[in-house]
Amino acid sequence: MRQITLAATQMACSWDIDENIAKAEALVTNAAEAGARVILLQELFETPYFCLEQSLDHLQLARPLEQSRVVLHFAFLARKLGVVLPISYYEEAGLARYNSLAIADADGTILSNYRKIHIPQAPGYEEKFYFSPGDSGFQVVETRFGRIGCGICWDQWFPETARCLALQGAEVLLFPTAIGTEPNNPELDSSGHWRRTMQGHAAANMIPVVASNRVGSEQEGETTGVFYGTSFIAGFTGEILTDANRTEETFITAAVDLDAAARYRSAWGVFRDRRPHMYGTLRTLDGKTGTMR
């Protein structure tokens, strides 16, 4: 039995970066004291979610991996607490900018730097203005506490993300997130749909899933975003093991048995019975079998 305690945090963010970092550190520390060994912070927690509108000023927030304040700070904290931390940050790389996730192992070593592959573009989520599509490919890394695979927010809506990570041997899937209201459709509440999508990833791949979302209301120009929290941890058949509410700044934990999940995957035979040569349609945009044009 390889039992591991996973955690997700959720918090509100402001333009007081010192406060955001201190708040995130306190949540991580409390989760570690509660026994968590892999702890997920939300997407772009260093600042408010600056993608509500397009602003040239916010492009200046990007930093190279080696100079990112949050990456340096939380890599040190990972080492201090002996925990694994995926660290979301705004990356500058040459003339490109990415929505990135640096994975810090329990000794503080940065194991990988994942760049968000799927970039949304919608009112209140103006990400194509700020980010280039990631070129890192999906990544699974061996940490002190198991093999983890991560996507970032919009990545979580694509079954291909979870399946690619599963095929590379991920034992836990983690998705830092910033999602809430839709400015052009204020009556839409996607929180249930959001969770069920990832529960499906857990069930289809028989891998636990951790999702961390922010809470609170943020304003940029004429646009307001209200983030609905509901961070959760799902077990390897998709069941919700624990979750947070829509407004509280908190952390949640759940213990999972990675060996039990592995046995379950083997017993069901889903990966044995895959027919990759029949899936050519997935390599197209227009649904016609063949190579992408």
Beta strands in 11-50 (DSSP E): 38-40
Q: Which two tokens stand for residue 159?
A: 């079954």
Compute φ and ψ for 78, nearest 5 degrees: -60, -45
Residue 205 DSSP one-character state: H
Q: How far apart are CA 168 and CA 147, in angstroms?
A: 9
Write the DSSP string, 91-108: EEETTEEEEEEEEE-TTS
Q: How many helices (H) and strands (E) does the chain have?
A: 6, 14
Residue 150 annotated in active site: no
Residue carrying the six token digits 């979302």: 213
Instruction: State the catalytic residue, choosing from 23, 116, 164, 218.
Output: 116
Q: Which two tokens stand for residue 192?
A: 């249930």
- Among 13, 153, 171, 218, the one annotated catalytic: 153
d(CA 11, CA 77): 18
What whole-number distance in Å separates Cα of residue 151 and Cα of residue 158?
10
Active-site residue (options: 13, 23, 43, 92)? 43
Q: Give yes or no: 43 in active site.
A: yes
Catalytic residue list contains 51: no
Q: For residue 143, give the nearest of 258, 271, 25, 8 by alpha carbon.
A: 258
Q: Is 126 exposed, middle or buried (0-12, 13-18, 19+ CB in 10 A)?
A: buried
3-class DSSP state for residue 85? Answer: strand
Rounded to 10 degrees, the C-alpha dihedral 269/272/277/283 comes to 60
List, by residue number, the catalytic residues: 43, 116, 153
